[in-house]
Amino acid sequence: MLNTTANIDPDFSQALTKLDKRGKIKLLEKKHQPLFKADGLNGPPKFIPRMAYYHEGERIVSLYPSELSGGENIYTEFVSKEYYPEDKDRKLYKWIFNADWQTEYKTSDPHPVTGDKRYFIPVDELVDVEEYHRSRKSPDPIDDFDSEPAAGSDVPYADMTLRDYAAIHLQKPCSHKKWLNDIIKSK
């Protein structure tokens, strides 16, 4: 387990120690206000800090049905059980609402007392909000959709078409992007 308190500002750590769960979440959320605004949020975000951990070889975060319902994107920061940041950079991630979450994600066993199940969301499906906005401001946007992205770069999620989504979801090379079709064919 990470020694999370060593990775963060001691004053911040001390402030967290004095707060209850709700206060800790509000303090964590405060840092991300500029990113919430950049993401176009006018009201309070659906911010749910979570532990990221490995389950069956896949790094995931787990969320309850009540958290996933409602049709909203969920913002998260990786934290310990006590809500100490696990990432010294304090990255903000976004899970883009998926209406099929009840059927597409694996679940935990029911809690022995409450019967509640948690849904396992792969960390790979989360969007790094700061990176997303940095790529949108890139002076060299990708205009040639058929060209392969440069090594080490990525294509912004916003540039995905419905045809691209179908190609990925159906695992059929029907995209107009040759490089995406090649990835799908290689699986």
Cβ–Cβ < 8 Å for 46, 74: yes
Q: Phi-psi bin for 135: left (phi > 0), alpha (psi -120 to 50), beta?
A: alpha
Q: What's the angle, vertex CA 25, arms to CA 54 and CA 22, rounded to 5? A: 120
Same domain for 165 and 86, yes or no, is: no
The pLDDT tens digits of the residues spanning 27-45 come to 999 999 999 999 999 889 9
At 2 the pLDDT is 43
Q: What pLDDT was estimated at residue 123? A: 96
Same domain for 118 and 48: yes
Nearest to 46 by CA among 21, 70, 62: 70
Total domains present in the chain: 2
Q: Verify that 187 and 152 share a domain, yes or no.
A: yes
Are residue 36 and residue 111 in the same domain, yes or no? yes
Output the CA–CA distances (angstroms, integers) from residue 85 to 105, 130, 159, 160, in the order listed.
25, 17, 31, 31
Q: Which of 103, 43, 106 is nearest to 73 (CA)?
A: 43
**pLDDT tens, 88-119?**
899 999 999 999 999 999 999 998 999 999 99
Q: What percent of the chain has pLDDT over 90?
A: 52
Among 120, 137, 154, the domain-final residue is: 137
- Token pair belonging to 161: 């078409």
Whether residues 173 and 95 fall in one domain: no
Q: Say whether both 163 and 115 belong to one domain.
A: no
Q: Which domain holds residue 58?
A: 4-137
Tokens of 75: 């913002």
Check: CB of residue 91 under 8 Å from CB of residue 77: yes
13 and 99 share a domain? Answer: yes
Looking at the structure, tell me whether residues 89 and 169 fall in a common domain. no
